[in-house]
Amino acid sequence: MYKILTLNNISVKGLSRLPRDEYEISSESSQPDAILLRSFKMHDMEIPESVAAIGRAGAGVNNIPIDKMTKRGVPVFNAPGANANAVKELVLAGLLMASRNIYPAMQFASSLEGTDAEISTAVESGKKNFVGCELHSKTFGVIGLGAIGRRVANAASALGMKVVGYDPQISVENAWRLSRNVKQAINLDHLFSQCDAVSVHVPLLDVTKGLVNKARIESMNDGGIIVNLARGGICDDDAVIAALDSGKLSAYVIDFPTGQLIKHPKVISFPHLGASTEEAEENCAVMVADQVRDFLEDGTVTNS
């Protein structure tokens, strides 16, 4: 019997890939053969020596002590691409919320009181405060052209945006083959200098920390939008806030709220919702459960 320790809720569809007559799945297992988790931060956790594999039901693995596990020879499996559609759709939602002032406009509409005639009068005088701008024809930079970035690029292009992309790991030819809607930037500075909006789709690494910085924001078109549903730390938050305050940026869309950001009127913050759709949760759980099972049962290593 294999013992699986779950550190977060894992979709039932994923757990069903581990047959009950061979797998004991519990959030309290003391000597587990493998761990399945979502966003639980494992860095301070005592990881039992019995653990032979870890499965992260998501793309990022920065909540797992990879170096420590590598030294122990424990593979860490993840689910790249399995939640890409969900993240893409939230990027579009963030862009549209920002460009059309959707949240403050909804707050205004739901605050109205009185007769229908009074509400109608208040609507006509209040709506001037929420005039937005169209995304159509604006230049949109996509940084990172992996499973998520490519989908975001194609969706933005379908909205009529001019999409420019940059990914240091993908050649110009491949980027074009993967997403014909993307014009390749020469480098990051080149990308920022032409954009009205930028979305980042890279992991948080030493080289991506502070990638969205003061100089790059200043080179953007005025009133720009930054979307970071990837990881906190990729943007220099102090530089972003200064640009929001000066009007250089009109909105900052994030999925990793911090105390410094959540109260800012121009920050649109989601509570780490990028991958939170039923479909994405199932896809991720199935992908990692399959990988962990195959490794435990016959040593097969895919995508660790």
| Interface with ligand MLT (CB under 6 A) | 38-39, 58-60, 83, 272, 274-275
Beta carbon of residue 203, minimum distance to ligand MLT (angstroms, whole number): 8
Residue 94 or residue 224: which is nearer to ligand MLT going by CB? 94
254, β-bridge pairs? 228, 269
> What CA–CA distance (Å, rounded) separates 56 from 10?
10
Beta carbon of residue 39, minimum distance to ligand MLT (angstroms, whole number): 5
Whether residue 253 contacts residue 229, with contact meaning beta carbons closer than 8 Å, is answered with yes
Q: Which residues lie below 8 Å from residue 80, measured CB to CB, with a gap of 6+?
A: 59, 146, 147, 303
Beta carbon of residue 83, minimum distance to ligand MLT (angstroms, whole number): 5
Beta carbon of residue 292, minimum distance to ligand MLT (angstroms, whole number): 16
Q: How many CB atoms lie within 10 A of CB 257?
A: 15
Residue 85 or residue 250: which is nearer to ligand MLT going by CB? 85
Residue 101 or residue 277: which is nearer to ligand MLT going by CB? 277
Beta carbon of residue 230, minimum distance to ligand MLT (angstroms, whole number): 8
Burial environment of residue 130 by CB neighbours within 10 A (0 to 12, 13 to 18, 19 or more): middle
Residue 237 or residue 255: which is nearer to ligand MLT going by CB? 255
Beta carbon of residue 152, minimum distance to ligand MLT (angstroms, whole number): 14
Q: Which is nearest to 287 in space by CA: 302, 297, 273?
A: 302
**b or e along 180-190 (b: 16 or more beta carbons within 10 Å of the residue's beta carbon)?**
ebbbbbeebee
Residue 122 or residue 273: which is nearer to ligand MLT going by CB? 273
CB-nearest residue to ligand MLT:
58
Q: Which residues lie below 8 Å from residue 254, measured CB to CB, with a gap of 6+?
A: 228, 229, 232, 261, 267, 268, 269, 270
Beta carbon of residue 205, minimum distance to ligand MLT (angstroms, whole number): 14
Residue 57 or residue 211: which is nearer to ligand MLT going by CB? 57
Burial environment of residue 223 by CB neighbours within 10 A (0 to 12, 13 to 18, 19 or more): middle
- Which secondary-structure segment (H or E) carries 93? helix 84-99
Residue 17 or residue 183: which is nearer to ligand MLT going by CB? 17
